Amino acid sequence: MSSSSHSFPPLDPPARLLMGPGPINADPRIHRAMAAPLVGQFDPVMTRYMNQTMAVYRAVFECDYAQTLLIDGTARAGIEAVVISAIEPGERVLVPVMGRFGHLLTEIAERAGAEVHTIDIPWGQVCTLEQLETALKTVRPSLVATVQGDTSTTMLQPLAGWGDLCHQHDALLVCDATASIVGNTLPTGEWQLDAVTCGLQKCLAGPPGVAPITLSPAFVERVNRRRHVEAGIRDTQDQPQAGPRIGSNYFDLPMIMDYWGERRLNHHTEASTMLYAAYEAGRIAVEEGLAAAVSRHRLHGNAMAAGVEGLGLALYGDQSTRMNNIVGVRIPEALDGEAVRAALLQDWGIEIGSSFGPLKGKIWRIGTMGYNARQDCVLMTLAALEQVLRRQGHACPQGGGVDAAYAIYQRAEEGAVQ
Amino acid sequence: MSSSSHSFPPLDPPARLLMGPGPINADPRIHRAMAAPLVGQFDPVMTRYMNQTMAVYRAVFECDYAQTLLIDGTARAGIEAVVISAIEPGERVLVPVMGRFGHLLTEIAERAGAEVHTIDIPWGQVCTLEQLETALKTVRPSLVATVQGDTSTTMLQPLAGWGDLCHQHDALLVCDATASIVGNTLPTGEWQLDAVTCGLQKCLAGPPGVAPITLSPAFVERVNRRRHVEAGIRDTQDQPQAGPRIGSNYFDLPMIMDYWGERRLNHHTEASTMLYAAYEAGRIAVEEGLAAAVSRHRLHGNAMAAGVEGLGLALYGDQSTRMNNIVGVRIPEALDGEAVRAALLQDWGIEIGSSFGPLKGKIWRIGTMGYNARQDCVLMTLAALEQVLRRQGHACPQGGGVDAAYAIYQRAEEGAVQ
């Protein structure tokens, strides 16, 4: 009751260059789109915007799945909606674990009542098609859940052939692509992924808080076996309720599809402003072209990786399977990694990331994502890092980072980068 | 794969005066606040903003509960987080059902595995303290869940005395106040509510998409019995995992409290832009003063109710227990309610609402909420409604709505409205 004793100043965030694992600086176009006025949730204008958002994300996910929509929550809300809607208690789920987000998938599936089996891969590596096949034969899961890019390790899981293999073994394949989408190739339709989830705050260049997802016809058929309509809005035309209810109302995908579908059955009230952000983020990606966006992320990621090595630092993990948009950097033994991060943030306004669990204190993570996958961001980060390392007593070649990055840009101009 | 055949124009929403049950036009201050740049999720600036947001919502909820924070999702995300974290499968939950949102609470609790008992109240009425007491004695629930304002019926549930009564019967009391907060008195601490949830899109004058909640110490103690830390970020200092895990990772309140608390254990990535919106919405309410805000909503709601009657239309439900910020209007038999709504929207840019279930096609719902709880909005809506009714062949007194509203404003100026 001490409200009168508080003062609540306006928020006035400082300028930051966000070169960590996300969120990154949003594209100013997205800020402008979010300033648009609200309309009612069943206004024909709003439902048209919802349809346009579905269409733009079909292009972003590179698929023609009808059920492509937004979950109103952060990226893991999309994951949970997919997993909790697909799994009935007692079903077997297979999860390759090669970083923090494998653990997260495991945990979400367990809470949904699944019997979860994991393929345990050392952090910094990825899962092979052979390892997947062996596990499919042994476990016989009804669902395989993975992440394309596990930001905790910076690794990119190759997924070509996974969909086909899972389907041969009667399993659906779901994949979170929050960290990787737009920065790395992800042809959902060609790879036969049954559900893909993501967020905006990485290579889509938007703010966190909404989760675009896409669902294959087979996935939709599966979750619709448990379709229900809420008592308060049920109609005479609604079928008797079938199958055990999904363990969440908020993440009940059949209900959410009814809201996004022609019946427009009210579920939640769509987060209009975040929808505006998602639509604009999707538009930006489609306008650039997905192939061009992936190339851009590869170029600037390579420049950052080369630059970091040019400063005498070692990269983390198998570089042949690194995400284009983020590099892991081993923190030299003699250095206090958090002191370096603090100096970069406080004195230079530049954020880079740390990591989790076994990698806590061991690596930094430097992102080149979305709006910040740009030459000026790469050069500035490397120049600042050089000065901070030097001032903390860590010798590094003068200009070694910047020169190595320039060399990558030079080669790209000469057409040598594929 | 037909992305090239689509064109994705920029979103350019038309001007709308949103006088339905929400969302309503956001206060322009909130749009400006949302344009602020992003900062990293563990930036000291961001964690300070999180703390300030907690403080401002303690003032909005009128309580001193330490655990006052945001759930990243729409209003019902807040409800589900509270219910699913508090209930272990098999526990008894009591829900008074007097509209659509009572059904929703029932459904969320059932999906969490609760044995749900309802107090069934005719739509348009509210639940008495005596009815509650009888049910508490019979059912002996561990949790009572209710809504303060059920937008589907426009009714306001009186809650004074409920907390004390529930506690006498060893039940915690949780309440959703999405539709009512800031428009109606809600002293969470004084009324001993154990959890209150809301959204921004009604009297808080913000966009939908984030859910402020507050939790009493007793509620926190209860959910913390099932506190877990995710495998990917677990630390040696973390206790062995206790109790059955909460059925959702996304809505696991102990984890969310660890993210908002001093340890800042990563859970989701906070939706920064929606946090900016929530903070500014809370600031606006606190600056106006909660008592003044409630008076303003009462005044304009009364003017709208009088105006509607002045047009010869009948109000819906017991007016002595109506929310200040919304009126239900019986649609005259001879009129097509949807045609009236369509004309208002298409020709006048004004949105009013319909309703759900048994009230579908029976009532309109007209809101005077947040930024739109203003005299000009009330007068324009009544004037437009008069013209639309007349042109659809429904006789009504010329200026009858506007004059009746002016009479309320006149009386208020003379100090006659309490």
Helix%, strand%, coil% for chain B, nearest 5:
45, 15, 45
C-beta of residue B234 within 8 angstroms of C-beta of residue B8:
no
Count Cα atoms within 13 angstroms, Cβ side, for B296.
20
C-alpha separations of B295 from A32, B122, B129, B183, B229 in Å? 35, 28, 25, 8, 45
Nearest by CB to residue B16, choosing from A14, A37, A234, is A37
What are A117's two structure tokens?
A: 């089996």
Q: pLDDT tens, B60-74? A: 999 999 999 999 999
Segment B210-233 mean pLDDT: 92
Choose, out of B1, B16, B31, B38, the residue to mutate when testing the contact with A (most A CBs < 10 Å).
B38
Q: What does the pLDDT read at residue A58?
A: 98
Q: Is the pLDDT of residue A268 over 80?
A: yes
Assess whether pLDDT exceeds 70 at residue B6. no
Contact B16 A39 (CB under 8 A): yes
Instruction: Name chain A contacts of B271, Cβ cutoff 8 Å.
Output: 74, 207-210, 274
Closest chain B residue to the Cα of A178, Cα to Cα: B269
Give me chain B's average pLDDT, please: 95
Predicted pLDDT at B175? 98
SS3 (DSSP) at A101: helix
Residue B150's φ and ψ, nearest 5 degrees, are -95, 105
Question: Cβ neighbours of residue A235 under 8 Å, at least 6 residues apart?
Answer: A229
Look at B59 and A6 and tell me if their CB atoms are within 8 Å: yes
Contact B38 A25 (CB under 8 A): yes
Of A367 and A238, which is predicted with more confidence? A367
- Chain B residues with CB-CB distance to A245 below 8 A: 110-111
Q: What is the pLDDT of residues A17-30, one digit of tens each?
A: 999 999 999 999 99
Instruction: Report how far residue B264's alpha carbon sits from residue A271's, in angstroms, rounded to the nearest whole number.
Output: 26
**Segments in B225-289 forming alpha helices (H):** 253-260, 272-288
The DSSP symbol for B62 reads: T
Q: What is the pLDDT of residue A236?
A: 64
Q: What is the pLDDT of residue A68?
A: 98
Residue B219 has pLDDT above 50, yes or no: yes
Task: Note whether A356 contacts B266, CB cutoff 8 Å.
Answer: yes
Option in B12, B199, B268 nearest A76 (CB): B268
Note the pLDDT tens digit of each residue in B125-183.
999 999 999 999 999 999 999 999 999 999 999 999 999 999 999 999 999 999 999 99
Task: For residue A111, give the chain B residue with the closest CA.
Answer: B247
Instruction: Specify the pLDDT at position B234.
Output: 72
- Which token pair is B41? 């999720």
Give the pLDDT score at B187.
Answer: 98
Nearest chain B residue to A26 by CA: give it.
B38
Is the distance from CB of A223 to CB of A83 less than 8 angstroms? no
Domains in chain A, please, with CATH?
A: 28-287 (3.40.640.10), 290-417 (3.90.1150.10)
Contact call for A189 and B230, based on CB within 8 A: no
Determine the pLDDT at residue B239.
65
Q: Are B245 and A111 in contact (CB under 8 A)?
A: yes
A338 contacts A171 by C-beta, under 8 angstroms: no
CB contact under 8 A, A76 and B250: yes
Tell me the pLDDT band of B398, cut-offs 50, 70 and 90.
very high
Q: How many angstroms separate the CA of residue B87 from the nearest CA in chain A?
A: 13
How much is the average pLDDT of B94-109? 96
Q: How far is B411 from chain A (nearest CA, A)?
A: 31
The answer to whether B101 and B130 have CB atoms below 8 angstroms apart is no
**Is A3 in contact with B59 (Cβ distance < 8 A)?**
yes
- On the question of pLDDT at A35 being above 90, the answer is yes
Q: Which helix (H) or strand (E) holds B308?
A: helix B290-310
What is the C-alpha to C-alpha distance for residues A303 and A418, in angstroms, rounded to an integer?
Answer: 14
Q: Mean pLDDT throughout A75-90?
A: 97
DSSP letter at B289? -
Cβ-defined contact of A269 to B199 (cutoff 8 Å): yes
Put simply, the answer to whether B72 touches A75 (Cβ < 8 Å) is no
Question: pLDDT value at position A1?
Answer: 39
pLDDT tens-digit map of B258-270: 999 999 998 999 9
Residue B106 has pLDDT above 90, yes or no: yes
Instruction: Write the residue in A80, A210, A287 that is nearest to B248 by C-beta.
Output: A80
Residue B416 banded pLDDT, cuts 50, 70, 90? low
pLDDT in tens, A151-205: 999 999 999 999 999 999 999 999 999 999 999 999 999 999 999 999 999 999 9
Calculate mean pLDDT across residues A383-407: 97
Question: What is the widest separation between alpha-carbon atoms in chain A?
Answer: 75
- Give the model's confidence band at A415: pLDDT under 50 very low, under 70 low, under 90 confident, else very high: confident
pLDDT class of A231 with cuts at 50, 70, 90: confident
Q: What is the pLDDT of residue A2?
A: 42
The verdict on a CB contact (< 8 Å) between A269 and B38 is no
Residues from chain B that touch A72, judged by Cβ atoms under 8 A, are 73-74, 77, 209
* The two structure tokens encoding residue B218: 């007793």
> What confidence score (pLDDT) does residue B357 get?
84
- Residue B249 phi, psi (nearest 5): -80, -45
Q: Which residues contact B413 (CB under 8 A, 6 or more apart)?
A: none
Average pLDDT value for residue range A35-52? 96
How many angstroms separate the CA atoms of B399 and B402, rounded?
Answer: 5
Q: What is the mean pLDDT of residues A47-76?
A: 98
Helical axes B100-111 vs B75-86, angle rounded to 10°: 40
At residue A116, does pLDDT exceed 60?
A: yes
Count interface pairs A-B at CB distance under 8 A: 317
Q: Which of A274, A290, A344 to mutate to test the interface with B (most CBs of B within 10 A)?
A: A274
What's the confidence (pLDDT) of residue A356? Answer: 84
Question: Quick check: A80 and B230 CB within 8 A?
Answer: no
Stretch among A60-74, B216-230, B290-304, B311-325 having the lowest mean pLDDT:
B216-230
Q: Which of B10, B36, B80 sits opposite A249 (nearest CB)?
A: B80
Across the interface, which of A39, A152, A274 has its CB nearest the CB of B209? A274
Does residue A117 surpass a pLDDT of 50?
Answer: yes
- Give the mean pLDDT of A273-286: 98
Token pair 């109710």: residue: B305
Rounded to 10 deg, the angle between the B375-391 and B337-348 helix axes is 120
Residues of A in contact with B59 (CB under 8 A): 3, 6
**Chain B residues lying within 8 Å of A36, measured CB to CB:** 11-13
Chain B hits for A247, CB-CB cut-off 8 Å, are 111-112, 247-248
With contacts defined as CB-CB under 8 Å, which chain B residues touch A1?
A: 62-64, 189
Q: Provide the pairing of β-strand A67-71 with A211-215.
A: antiparallel
Range scoring the smallest mean pLDDT among A4-18, B150-164, B352-366: A4-18
Q: Rounded to an integer, what distance in angstroms lies between the CA atom of residue B37 and that of residue A14?
A: 8
Q: Would you say residue B293 has pLDDT above 50?
A: yes
Residue of B6, B11, B357 with shortest CB distance to A233:
B357
pLDDT band at A5 (very low <50, low <70, confident <90, very high): very low
The secondary structure of B125-186 as a DSSP string is ----HHHHHHHHHHH--SEEEEESEETTTTEE---TTHHHHHHHTT-EEEEE-TTTBTTB--
Query: How confident is the model at residue B341, as a pLDDT?
Result: 98
By 3-state DSSP, what share of chain A in percent is helix, strand and coil, each rounded to 5? 45, 15, 45
Nearest-by-CA chain B residue for A205: B38
Q: What are the DSSP calls for B69-104, one per residue?
A: EEESS-HHHHHHHHHHHHPPTT-EEEEEESSHHHHH
CB atoms within 10 A of CB A280: 28
| CA B52/CA B50 separation, integer angstroms | 5
Q: What CA–CA distance (Å, rounded) separates A316 from A313?
A: 10
User: Among A243-252, A272-281, B231-240, B354-363, which stretch is predicted with the lowest mean pLDDT?
Assistant: B231-240
Q: pLDDT band at residue B230, thresholds of 50, 70 and 90?
A: confident
Nearest CA distance, A164 vs chain B (angstrom): 19
**Contact at CB, B49 and A273, closer than 8 angstroms:** no
pTM of the model: 0.96
Query: What DSSP designation does A247 have?
Result: S
Tell if the CB–CB gap between A16 and B37 is shorter than 8 Å.
yes
Total residues belonging to chain A: 418
**pLDDT score of B236:** 64
- CA dihedral in degrees (B252, B256, B261, B264; nearest 10)? 120
pLDDT at residue A203, rounded to an integer: 98
User: Please, which pLDDT band fits residue A239 given cuts at 50, 70 and 90?
Assistant: low
CB–CB contact B345 A199 (8 Å): no
Taking residues B10-26, report their average pLDDT. Answer: 97
Sort out which chain B residues have CB atoms less than 8 A from A41's CB and list them: 23, 208
Say whether A38 and B52 touch across the interface (CB within 8 A): no
Q: What angle do CA A303, A304, A310 make, to 5 degrees?
A: 90
Residue B122 has pLDDT above 70, yes or no: yes
